[in-house]
Amino acid sequence: MSMKPLQKLVRPNIWALKPYSSARDEYKGAAASVFLDANENPYNAPYNRYPDPLQLEVKEMLAPVKGVKPGQIFLGNGSDEAIDLAFRIFCEPKTDNVVAIAPTYGMYKVCADINDVAYRPVLLDDGFRLDAGKLLAAADEHTKLIFLCSPNNPSGNDLEREEIVKVLERFPGMVVIDEAYADFSEQKPFREELETYPNLIVLNTFSKAWGSAAIRLGMAFASEEVISLFNKVKYPYNVNQLTQRQAVEILKKRFDVDKWVKTLLRERGQVMAAFAELDICEKIYPTNANFFLAKVKGADAIYAYLVKNGIIVRNRSRVELCGDCLRVTIGTPQEDNSLLGALRSYKPETIK
């Protein structure tokens, strides 16, 4: 099955929407030096001016790094903005639905609930593997979006490429692939497949490998047609000037990012090997991200013990398929040694 025409997938009110036209949108002429169009204060430079609504400088620098065209990039206030916009663009509240793998990143369901769109989770298998047939069986004519996450959070593994491709080829709606952790994985990123799959939306973020969670900058890559819908619906100045400037700075330090990734991957191997030796460790799941999921003997008690010692990991033990699991982010060697040292001294109060 091929993709439905975009107009059939987009909410009619969004398709017809005439977006807000800001002063900075309307002025596109020769170099100007006197700006009396936006009711800004002429004092307090450089904070007095509205930022570029389309963040063109950032996109020009980002495009070659990511192997896409500037027009195929949307930038938002974290990936979370792109996720929310996907709902608002494609999903009619109370009518449409989305399908997603489970367990996965919690924001897809939160955005579905906020937008009053039914969320249909489809369980991965016990090795957190994707079965495209099972996923697609949950979709119907009101399914507008499918959410995949690879490497997946909280399990850490890459989803199998052939299964993702089956979803892209067979689903007539939009497929969102969240590749927040792709920098840590060997798998070929799907953002390079935009020309092949017009129904593909890929999410990336500055928050993980790029070390810039504080600036809140997320990316979506899709066809220029789809990106123009994102641009139409977003707040006019959704990415502030401080964030745009800092994004340019981090893009100049690409080699630091590569170094961080290499360091974290090396450290990950050491931490996982040491963690596997702990008495409390039942199992460590394979990972392609900067964290790993571990099944332990009594996750709640261990989590509470670590908190008491000032060490915070993520307790995922109430998540489906993750009973007694903790998710551990790779930190500095000092941080990781604090964790391992604390766990070596851990004594369960009662042994069940």
Ligand X SMILES: *Cc1c(COP(=O)(O)O)cnc(C)c1O
Q: Which residues of the chain form contacts with ligand X (CB under 6 A)?
A: 78-80, 105, 149, 153, 178, 180, 205, 207-208, 213, 218
As measured in angstroms, the least distance from the Cβ of 52 to ligand X is 20
As measured in angstroms, the least distance from the Cβ of 265 to ligand X is 17
Dmax over CA atoms of the chain, in Å, equals 75
Residue 79 or 317: the one with the smaller Cβ distance to ligand X is 79
As measured in angstroms, the least distance from the Cβ of 150 to ligand X is 9
- Helices within 37-104 (DSSP H only): 56-66, 79-90
As measured in angstroms, the least distance from the Cβ of 218 to ligand X is 4
Residue closest to ligand X when measured from CB atoms: 78
Residue 163 or 178: the one with the smaller Cβ distance to ligand X is 178
Q: Any idea which residue has 């792709």 for tokens?
A: 182
CB within 8 Å of 297: residues ≥ 6 apart: 279, 280, 281, 282, 324, 348
The one-letter amino acid code at 269 reads G
Residues 295, 279: Cα–Cα separation, whole Å: 12
Residue 205 or 288: the one with the smaller Cβ distance to ligand X is 205
As measured in angstroms, the least distance from the Cβ of 115 to ligand X is 17
Q: Give 40-43 contacts, CB < 8 A, sequence gap 24+.
A: none
Which tokens belong to 310?
């000032």
Residue 11 or 77: the one with the smaller Cβ distance to ligand X is 77
Q: Give which of 248, 224, 223 is closest to 59, Cα–Cα.
A: 248
Residue 80 or 96: the one with the smaller Cβ distance to ligand X is 80
* Radius of gyration (C-alpha) of the chain in whole angstroms: 22
